[in-house]
Chain A
Amino acid sequence: MKNLASFLRHPAGVIGLVILTGVVVLAIVAPTLFPVDPWDMVAAPFQPPFDGETWLGSDMLGRDVAACIAYGARVSLLIGVSSTLAALAIGVTVGAVAGYFGGRVDDFLMRFVELFQTIPGFILAILLVATLGPSLTNVILAIGAVSWPQLARLTRAEFLRLRSREFVQAAVCQGQPPMSVVLRHILPNAVSPIIVTGSLMIASSILIESALSFMGLGDPNLMSWGFMIGASRSVMRQAWWMSVFPGVAIFLTVLAINLVGEGLNDTLNPRLSRKARGA
């Protein structure tokens, strides 16, 4: 409750939360608002926006741009959240093992993480999706597979810091098994920076997803914002609305998540962020 009040004092965070709530609501009510399939033709092709028939115009096949954006919100949020969860599962596990055991295990795992950080992630994601096939699951796994190193480094640093603290030492001395020390003593204390980084990662995952589907590597059965922009390229001169609106949708969603992430950072790590602000 105290955290909530503190978050609400952060104006940027509140703005972000409002926009994000709007996007989530849009995603939830998409089928009610637009009962027809977003792939269906509902109007004449190339109808300009605000013209009566459709809100945001229609594309070259007479599909409703507004409906496509509403359904695209579902895909973006779904992929953003699930690929972040995948990255959390890998990153936190690797970081926890490296930070808890230290020594050679740590050295080995960190070299591995470093290697993964050197590899250009987006190209690896392209390669993974192109090879395994562009399905929803493969896109989520590919984004998760290229996003985890940052979380692994963060978790490791937190674990290294907490490992030597008295309460952790006490738990070890009591003979608690490593699993219980990690899950009941270290992880709960390391969770707030992980939450902050994870929330920001949802935004970057949405950006990666949109770039993948822009390049034609999205799930062909799902309407997504990146796909809409990719499809609009050839008719950009006639139909600006086809490329402008989905981009605005991506921009607002990513901005909102970043703002919420910063608000969370100020709320959960007040000491750290005050230092960064120079107060």
Chain B
Amino acid sequence: MSVVAITRYGGRLSAYVLGIAYGAVKIIGVILVIATFNFILVHAAPGDPAQVIAGQSGAADETLLRQIRSAYGLDQPYLVQLASSLKKTLTLDLGYSYRQQRTVLSLLLERLPATLLLTGTAFILSLVFGTALGTIAGTRAGKWSDTFFTIVSLLLYALPVFWLGLMLVLLFSVQLNWLPPFGYVTVGVEMTAWQRIADIASHMVLPTLSLAAVYLAIYARLMRSSIIEVKQQDFIKTARAKGVTESRIVMHHLLRNAILPVITVAGMQAGAVVGGAVVVETVFAWPGLGRLIYDAVLQRDYPVMQGIFLVMSIVVIGLNLLTEAVYRMVDPRISVRSVR
């Protein structure tokens, strides 16, 4: 390793540390902003904040309201209330759902795995298939397969996620009876571990497809234009002039460079994917946070809504940091191999 390489490597390491530090600051920043926001919302809602927190639209009894007022310090000055609610949020005390008679945190933790499973699978599937389709279209720009994929992605992009879900249920569950229409697992049946995994997987097909479709379209379109742009750059011509085989050019030179903007956009889209999960879970009665927020909205259960808002935002930051890490791994300009 030359001196240049070592300093560059050192630069890379400190960039890495900086990245992690920045991520931590960002998470704390977002938590504080959301806690402030939640605080403002409860007070902006029409009516007595204690009634709002009780979530019983005026039907809560006086003892409960007094209990809530003292628990949330609602008789204190606003600034004191705000400070205590920020402190509570930072220690993950997300309050109590008077509707469900449970702490919000325990409710959320129970539902989080199902949401992570659904969003994670859809996120990865849309990225993998989106870039694959985009690559096919981009390397064959102008041919019929390119036109076909371009039209398909244009159509997918205009579909409302929840409607796509319902149409899939109508086709594959009601008409063809191939896949279960809703839920997470078949209830009341004895199953071995493998059968159970297969059962969950069959329940996951439709929700994952509906959630992934739109993003697949976005990534395919982006990958296509990115491939077309990179294809014309000098290093591709050089590689071709050197006699590198076409498949190697695509795999090693074209893909690695063309995928970078797709990864960036995927990170930016993470929030939208998580938002889409809310609607998909509602359609498919998927027992995750999205389904929970739907029930919370129906019952006007504010502590639960606010808790989900916070947790989902943290999930988005997690996905953001993950895509940043992938970007660093993929980017040929900052890889160790290119320094050698």
Contact = CB atoms under 8 A, between A and B. Distances in A.
Given A131-B302, A229-B166, A247-B167, A120 B45 contact: no
Given A120-B271, A121-B272, A211-B162, A126 B297 contact: yes
Contact of B305 (A119, A126, A203): A126
**Chain A, interface SS category:** helix
Interface in A205-222: 207, 210-211, 214-217
A123 B166 CA distance: 21
Contacts of A131: 41-42, 44-45, 52, 302
Contacts of A47: none
A104 interface: no
Nearest to B27: A118
B228 A132 contact: no
A85 interface: no
A241 B166 CA distance: 12
A254 B214 CA distance: 13
Nearest to B306: A127
Contacts of B320: 118
Dominant secondary structure at the B interface: helix
A124 B30 CA distance: 13
Contacts, number: 141
Interface in A183-242: 203, 207, 210-211, 214-217, 226, 229, 233, 236-237, 240
Given A123-B275, A132-B44, A118 B163 contact: no
B170 interface: yes
A26 interface: no
A277 interface: yes
Interface string B264-301: 00001001101110110011000000000110011010
A123 B38 CA distance: 12
Contacts of A118: 26, 30, 271, 313, 316-317, 320
B163 A251 contact: yes
A250 B316 contact: no
A128 interface: yes
Contact of A275 (B157, B169, B229): B229
B157 to A, nearest CB: 7
A117 interface: yes
B275 A121 contact: yes
A119 B313 contact: yes
Interface in B164-218: 166-167, 169-170, 174
Contact of B268 (A117, A251, A255, A276): A117
B334 interface: no
Interface in A224-279: 226, 229, 233, 236-237, 240, 243-244, 246-247, 250-252, 254-255, 258-259, 275-278
Interface string B12-46: 00000000000000100110011000000110111
Contact of A122 (B231, B278, B297): B278
Nearest to B298: A216
Contacts of A229: 160, 162-163, 166
Contacts of B52: 131
A133 interface: yes
A243 B317 contact: no
A120 B275 contact: yes
B141 interface: yes
Contact of A130 (B29, B154, B162, B300): B300
B312 to A, nearest CB: 5
Interface string B219-231: 0000001001101
A115 interface: yes
Interface in B34-74: 34, 41-42, 44-46, 52
Given A126-B305, A127-B306, A226-B160, 6 more contacts: A120-B274, A120-B312, A127-B41, A216-B298, A229-B162, A250-B160
11 contacts: A115-B33, A119-B313, A126-B305, A127-B41, A130-B300, A131-B45, A211-B160, A211-B161, A215-B297, A243-B163, A255-B154
Which are the 10 A-B pairs with shortest beta-carbon distances? A122-B275, A278-B228, A247-B163, A255-B158, A254-B158, A120-B271, A120-B274, A131-B45, A120-B275, A276-B225
